[in-house]
Structures are given as C-alpha cells and as structure tokens.
Structure 1
Amino acid sequence: MLFFILKRLLVTFLVVAVTSVIAFLLVHMSGDPAAAMAGEGASASDIAAVRELFGFDRPLILQYLDWIGRLLQGDFGRSYYLRMDVVDVLAEHVPVTATLGVLALTFALALSIPLGVLAALRPNTVIDRISLWLAVAGQALPSFLFALGLMYLFGVYLRWLPISGDSTWAHFIMPSVALGYYATPAIMRLTRSGMLDVMQADHVRTARAYGLTPWRVVVRHGLRHAIVPVVSLAAVQLGFMLGGSIVIETIFSLKGIGHLAWESIQRADIEVIQAILLLIAVAYAILTLVADLLNAALDPRIRIS
C-alpha cells in the first residue's frame, strides 16, 4: 500500500508541474499581456513601459522560473487591477465555490446512487424507466435553463428561497441543485451498470446461498464493488464543478472563483488568472489522488496490481 501511495503522489506532482507550465504558457501566449493591461487606447510607448515594468520583456523561461519561485515561497503575486495580494483575493472567493461544489456533489450522489441501485435491482420496471428519464433530462437540459427554472419557481413564484447572493445557507440550495443535477446522469448510469454486473457475480450468488439478508448482499457485496468507478467519476465531477461553475455563479450572483476568473480575464489580471488556473489544476490532481486511494481501500486488487 505504501508503494502505491508513493507512486500516486509522484504522478500527482508531475501532473501539477506540467499543468503549471501549460497554464503559464496559455496566459502569456494568448496575446500580449502588456497591451491588454495598458488598455485599448495605449500608445506603443505606454505598452513598452508596461512590458518593462512588469518584466514581460524577459524570456518566458525566466518569467516562469520567477513565478514558480515565488509560488514555492507562498507568494502568488499581486492583482494589478484590485491592488490586493492574490492570496487575499482567492481567500474571498474560494470558500464560495468550494461550498457550492461540495453541496452540488452531495446532492448528485444522494440522488444518483440510490436511483442507480434501484434501477439495477428492478430492471425494465417503472423505477428503471424513471431513472432513465431523469438521466436523459439531465443531459438534454442546459444547466443555465434548469437554473432559471428553479429561480422562477422557488424564488419568484413560491418565494421559498433567495435568488441571489451567498450570505446564508439558503442561498446555496438552488445553485447546488442546478449544478449537481448536471452530474447526476453519468453517476446514475455508472452505478446502474456496475450493479447489474456485480449482482451476477459468483461472490454475490455465494452470499445469497449462505442466507445473508438482501440488504447486506446489496450493500456489502454488491455496492461496495460497483461503487469503485463511481468514486473516480465523482472526483472528476467535483473538479469540474469547482472549475466550471461560472454559469451558475453568474446566474445566482455568487462571488466564487468562476466569476472571479471571468472578471479577471476581462481585466487582463494576469497574476489572478494564473493562480486560478493552477488552483483548479491542483484541485483536480488532489481529488484524483484521493479517489485512487479510496478505490485502493475499497478494492485490494487495485493496489496489488
């Protein structure tokens, strides 16, 4: 198990290192950052002054090494537009997106796993058809349209929930449902297919022959093995929610990192953009690492192989 953990840690480090290079190059090669920061009406001399002031005239490799060196010291730079340290800017927005992502994934798992299990235990029944209908609706319905529907029904018509802001827990209910419902179909289908395969396995038939209760057979001998790929998918979905929640955050006026990224791109706030890209990449890598470790704990064959 120790060798497996060390190997996964090494892979995670390499992924983060490569991603940091890609994030840095994407920001600096998508256009002239000095021209973007100087503004549309800036003259050539103004752009040259900005380029020299912020060191954009140096070779990219030196700029990257300087950026990485500052990151290793805990210095994420300073926002050119907000005149604040990037760490302080992220500290204001990351908790909002993290809360939204965790709640959205919790909703998706709470809805999709029971439906997937029930659909597998009762194939070609009403429950199976309802699960299939929910999966198709979740894939076909755009997240922004679903979010607007929730906003109108529960916020405008019924007036049960607030429609904007992030000051209380009630503000996160509709955004979490709107964001989590998008991840529900994939998790539900994977759970259903996994349970269908596992319930036909020899060890499940043996457990039934020993007279174990149906609940114990389903949960301990069925779901435990079927949920292994679901863990990996859930980690990927959570990473997607953290990085791709800009639409939901904009609709519900949540000041998360998705909204911050959009504003930073409009302002050409280079340091903030680079920090957000690296933060999302690190989140993906860590979530994947955690998923691999959980899968190895659930299924010994993974760590043995």
Structure 2
Amino acid sequence: MLRYIFLRGCLAILVAFTVSLAAFLLLNVASDPAQAIAGEDATADVVETIRARYGLDRPLTVRYFDWLGGVLQGDFGESYYWHKPVAALVADRLDETLTLALSALAVTIVIAIPLGALAALNPNSWIDRFALGVAVSAQAVPNFWLGLIMIIVFAVMIPIFPVSGDSTWRHFVLPAFVLGSSSVPAVMRLTRTGLIEVMGADYIRTARSKGFRGWQLLRRHALRNAILPVISVLAVQLGQKFGGSVITESIFAINGLGRLALESILGADIPTVQMLIFVFAIVFVAMNLLADILNAAIDPRIRIG
C-alpha cells in the first residue's frame, strides 16, 4: 500500500509541476504582461517602465524558476492589482470557496446516489425513466441560467434565501444547489450502471437466496463494489468545483477564489491568476490522488495490480 501511495504521489507531483509550467508559459508568452498591466493606450516608455519595475525584462526561464522557488518557500508573489501578497488574497477567500465546494458536493451526493440506486433497483420502470430525466435536465441547464432562476424564485418571488453574500449558511444554499446540480448526471448514471452490473453477479444471487432484498441487499453487498468508480468521479468533481466556481460565485456575489480569479483576469493581475491556476490544479491533482488511495484501500486488487 505504501509503495502504491508513493508512486501515485510522485505522479501527482509531476502533474502539478507540468501544470505550473504550462500556466506560466500561457500567461507570459501568449501575451505581453507589461502591456496588459499598462493598458492598450499606454506608450512604449510606460510599458518599458512597468516591465523593468516588475522584472518582466528578465529571461523567461529565470522568471519561472524564481516564481517556482518562491512557491516552494510559501512566497506566491505580490498582486499587481491589489498590491498585496498573493498568499494573503488566496487565504482570505479560501474558506468561502471550500465551503461552497463541499456544500455542492454534498448536494450531488444526496441527489445523485439515491436516484442512481433507485433506478438500479427498478430498471426500465417509471422510476428509472424519472431518474434519467432528472440527469438529462441537469446536464442541459447551464449554471448561470439556473442561478438566475433560483434567485428570481427563491430570493425575490419567495424570499426564503438571501440574494447574495456569504456571511451565513443560508447564503450558500442556492449557490451550492446550482453548483452541485451540474455533477448530478455523471454521478447518477455511474451509480446506476455500476449497481445494475453488480446486481447480476453470482454473489448477489447468493445473497438473495439468503433472504436479502432491496436496500438491505444494496447496502450490505452491492454498493461496496459499485461505489469504486463513483468515488473517483466525486473526487474529480470536488476538484472541478474549485475551478468551476467562477460563474456561481459571480452570480451570488460570493467573495471566494472563483470571483478573485475573475477580478484578477479583468485587472490583468498575472501573479494572482497564475497562482490561482496552480492552486486549482493542486486541488484537482490532490483529489485524484485521494480517490486512488481510497479505491486501493477498498479494493485490494487495485494496489496489487
């Protein structure tokens, strides 16, 4: 098990390094950071002054390894837009995004897994068709449209929840539902397919012969083997919630990392955008690593293979 974790950890570090390099190149080669900071109407002298002030006149490799060395030491650089350490900006808004991401994942689990299980226990029935209809609807509706509809219905017409903000748990109900609903189709279909496949196995027939039925059969025998791919998808979805929270946080005015990313892009704040991409990538890689470890712990065949 330790060898498996070590190999997966090394692969995760390699992926994180590759993402950091790709993000740095895209932000510093695809466009001129000094020109972006100065603005389109800035003169050449102003652009050169900005380039010298922020060290953008140094070779690209030197700038990358300086940035990477700073990241490894906990120094994420200074924001061009807010003139504050990037680490402080990320730390100030991390709680909001983490709360939103975990709440959205909880919404996905509460809706998708029971629906998938019901559909698997009643294949080709109206329950199955209803579950598939919910999945198709959730996949077809864009987050920004659903967010606006939720605000109109549950914050304006029926004022149950606040329109915007992040000061109480009630502020996260609507955005968590909006962000979590986008993951329902994949998790629901995967749960349904996995359970239908498992329910035809020999050991399930043996369990039925012993008197196990319905949810008892599902919980004690079928779900353990069918849940492995679902765990991987949930971990990936949690990683995606961090990077995919930009639209949801903007609609509901939540001061999280997604909204910080949007503000940094609009303000041409290269260090903050670069660091946020790196943070989102690290979270995504870490969630995949966690999923691999959990799957290996549940199914010994994975770590032996």
TM range (shorter): over 0.9
Q: Is the 8 A contact 2:138 2:184 kept in 1?
A: yes
2:294 counterpart residue number: 294
2:285 matched to 1:277?
Answer: no
| Cα distance in 1, alignment partners of residues 212 and 299 from structure 2 | 21
More displaced stretch, 170-179 vs 213-222: 213-222
| Cα distance in 1, alignment partners of residues 220 and 300 from structure 2 | 15
Letter of the structure 2 residue corresponding to residue 289 of structure 1? L
2:257 matched to 1:253?
Answer: no
- Structure 2, unmatched stretches of 5+, are none
Write out aligned runs for 1:116-265 (5 A): 116-212=116-212, 214-265=214-265
Deviation at 1:213, TM superposition (A): 5.3
Deviation at 1:132, TM superposition (A): 1.0
| Cα distance in 2, alignment partners of residues 232 and 126 from structure 1 | 29
User: After the TM superposition, which parts of structure 1 deviate over 4 Å for at least 4 consecutive aligned residues?
Assistant: none
SS at match of 2:182: helix
Write out aligned runs for 1:6-85 (5 A): 6-85=6-85
Over residues 95-150 of structure 1, what are the superposed CA-to-partner deviations in whole Å (9 max), with x where a residue is unaligned? Answer: 11111111001001111001101100101112111101101111111111111111
- What is the CA RMSD across the aligned residues, in angstroms? 1.1
Over residues 268-292 of structure 1, what are the superposed CA-to-partner deviations in whole Å (9 max), with x where a residue is unaligned? Answer: 1111011101000000010000011
Deviation at 1:214, TM superposition (A): 4.3
- Structure 1, unmatched stretches of 5+, are none
| Cα distance in 1, alignment partners of residues 134 and 291 from structure 2 | 26
| Cα distance in 2, alignment partners of residues 153 and 215 from structure 1 | 35
| Cα distance in 2, alignment partners of residues 59 and 146 from structure 1 | 46
Letter of the structure 1 residue corresponding to residue 117 of structure 2? V
| Cα distance in 2, alignment partners of residues 150 and 31 from structure 1 | 38
The number of equivalent residue pairs is 305
Deviation at 1:209, TM superposition (A): 2.5
Deviation at 1:47, TM superposition (A): 0.8
| Cα distance in 1, alignment partners of residues 200 and 62 from structure 2 | 59
Q: Is the 8 A contact 2:121 2:214 kept in 1?
A: no
| Cα distance in 2, alignment partners of residues 26 and 289 from structure 1 | 26
2:98 counterpart residue number: 98
Letter of the structure 2 residue corresponding to residue 86 of structure 1? V
Over residues 225-262 of structure 1, what are the superposed CA-to-partner deviations in whole Å (9 max), with x where a residue is unaligned? Answer: 11100111111111111101111111111111111111
2:5 counterpart residue number: 5
| Cα distance in 1, alignment partners of residues 95 and 122 from structure 2 | 40
Deviation at 1:55, TM superposition (A): 1.4
More displaced stretch, 111-120 vs 88-97: 88-97
SS at match of 1:112: helix
SS at match of 1:31: coil
Deviation at 1:41, TM superposition (A): 2.6
| Cα distance in 2, alignment partners of residues 213 and 120 from structure 1 | 13
Letter of the structure 1 residue corresponding to residue 21 of structure 2? V
| Cα distance in 2, alignment partners of residues 194 and 286 from structure 1 | 25
Query: Identity of aligned pairs, percent?
Result: 47
